[in-house]
Amino acid sequence: MKPLLLIDIDGPLNPYMALSRPGAPEGYRRHTMRPTGWTAGPGLPVLLSPEHGDELLALADRYELVWATTWKDEANEWVGPHLGLPPLPYIDWPAMHGATGDGTYWKTRYVVEFAAGRPFAWVDDEITDLDTDWVAGHHPGRALLRPVDPRVGLVRADFDALAAWA
């Protein structure tokens, strides 16, 4: 069984911190989206690089790709098609954005629960050392937590690290 590759959107695929600069970063295209919950004002600006789709598809022979994003199943409607990705399974978070009390990211426990002992790699812009330590102490399988800078998104070094780890 392949390890899971758990993919967050905002940060890794959509470097939202770059939206404050004029234009799109090199290789990215600006899209306007209206996922559920985004009802007021103009659409949500999202930056996506088609190259990320190619990179993720290249990893699909080593990983089972899974959305690990608050976009949940809407990732398949709003984001995946712009990247050339087929519909992917997703983590259906039981609760979102809650406090954990120990400083770990709210997604961390759910990621470990979803993995159910399977090896996994996870890319997200909110991962910290606290999350890496928590996973090491609570997940029996191998795990790679790869924090991504939300100003630049996934870069070549991230894809290389994911390929090497698998």
39 falls within a domain: no
| DSSP assignments along 89-128, one per residue | -B---SS-S---SSS--HHHHHHHHHHTT--EEEEETT--
123 falls within a domain: yes
Q: What is the DSSP letter of 10?
A: B
27 falls within a domain: no
User: What is the SS3 string spanning 71-99?
Assistant: CHHHHHHHCHHHHCCCCCCECCCCCCCCC
18 falls within a domain: no
60 falls within a domain: yes
pLDDT digits (tens, 9 = 90+) for 10-64: 999 999 999 877 766 788 999 989 888 777 778 888 999 999 999 999 999 999 9
30 falls within a domain: no
Domain containing residue 152: 4-13+49-165
* Cα separation, 97 vs 95, whole angstroms: 7
21 falls within a domain: no
Give the global pTM: 0.93
79 falls within a domain: yes
91 touches 106 (CB < 8 A):
no
Number of domains in the chain: 1
Percent of the chain exceeding pLDDT 70 equals: 96
CATH number at residue 149: 3.40.50
- Give the pLDDT of residue 44: 84
